[in-house]
Amino acid sequence: MTARLILLVLQASIILSVLSLGLGASFNEPWYLLRRRRQLLRSLFSMNIVMPLFASLLAAGFNLFPAVEFTLIMLSISPMPPMLPRRQLKAGGRAAYVFGLLVAAALFAIVFVPIAVAVLGKAFASPIHASPGMIGNLVFSQIVIPLGLGLALRHTAPDFADRIARPASSFATLLLLIALIPLFFVAWPVSVPLIGNGTLAALAAFCVAGLATGHLLGGPESENRTTLALSTASRHPAAAMMIANANFPEEKSIFGALFLYLIVSTIASVAYLAWRRSINRR
């Protein structure tokens, strides 16, 4: 399976997953955070202010490979991944906050990401850019349109939405598995040379800092702490990859750094959720 075909399968999986989420959501849930200004600002501060600052400190403090530095910075300003809400809901997250955070963070990213890229580019003396159109296309194609379609079907044909929600979710998971197997063989060879120079430590520190920041700022509700912790630590790798391709199309090692981040992020998130479950059982 070629890299382009893998990408297409992943995109189809993301769109179907978000569509299935919309099929099971109420019409008011995606706008939940837009009506709660203090909670919205706290959530955006956790994801889009703390993490870029921490990523900049990691890039300055560790003797990292340039591809890893760039990846950390771009991940820190990328929106949350569209497939994350399903994991947050399974972890006990409130649906209104989960969907509200997904929509608010996605819309905010259209304005925030290009500005943040320009500011960080100047800070690190690197002429990088990201247009609002590029980020907007990603947000609308993978989040806003499929979620809106799912909500519309739920509102106009609830019985039909109930029937297709589970098959759509299952098929999205199948497509994800189909893409991940060849993705491993494509990404691993360019990932291995990046291991060293503190790469894994820096990626782990980034993920742990995200989980801790979101956990602290997501309260006082316990379920919101878990939701914001996962959203702060987990970022959309496709957004970071789009910025990388627009600025450094020949730099393949960034793809390897993103793959290492996905592995480390998954391990950190699983450990965090296990800790949360142990706390809740006490």
Burial-class residue 235 by CB neighbours within 10 Å (0-12, 13-18, 19+): buried
Nearby residues of 195 by Cβ (< 8 Å), 6 or more positions away: 260
Q: Which tokens go with 275? A: 């800790």
Among 60, 40, 45, 72, which residue's Cα sits nearest to residue 213? 45
What H or E segment, with its residue span, contains residue 226?
Answer: helix 222-233
Residue 236 is predicted with a pLDDT of 81
Among 90, 117, 59, 84, which residue's Cα sits nearest to residue 265? 84
State how far the Cα of 60 lies from the Cα of 63, in Å rounded to an integer.
Answer: 8
Residue 194 is predicted with a pLDDT of 82
Residue 2 is predicted with a pLDDT of 60
**pLDDT tens per residue, the chain (282 residues)?**
565 677 788 788 888 888 998 888 887 777 888 888 899 999 999 999 999 999 988 888 888 888 888 888 888 888 888 888 888 888 888 888 998 888 888 888 888 888 888 787 776 666 676 677 778 888 888 888 998 899 899 888 989 988 998 898 889 888 888 887 887 887 788 888 888 778 888 999 999 999 999 999 998 888 899 999 999 999 887 777 777 777 666 677 888 888 889 899 999 999 999 998 887 766
State how far the Cα of 200 lies from the Cα of 257, in Å rounded to an integer.
Answer: 10
Residue 112 is predicted with a pLDDT of 85
Q: Which tokens go with 171? A: 């098929």
Residue 125 is predicted with a pLDDT of 61
State how far the Cα of 260 lies from the Cα of 246, in Å rounded to an integer.
Answer: 21
User: CA of 30: how far to CAs of 99, 104, 257, in Å?
Assistant: 5, 8, 32
Second CATH level (architecture) for the domain 3-281: Up-down Bundle (1.20)
Contact 5, 164 (CB under 8 A): no
State how far the Cα of 257 lies from the Cα of 93, in Å rounded to an integer.
Answer: 30
Contact 79, 109 (CB under 8 A): yes
Q: Which tokens go with 33? A: 């955070």
Q: Please give, one letter per residue, the 3-state secondary structure of 166-220.
A: HHHHHHHHHHHHHHHHHHHHHHHHHHHHHCCCCHHHHHHHHHHHHHHHHHHHCCC
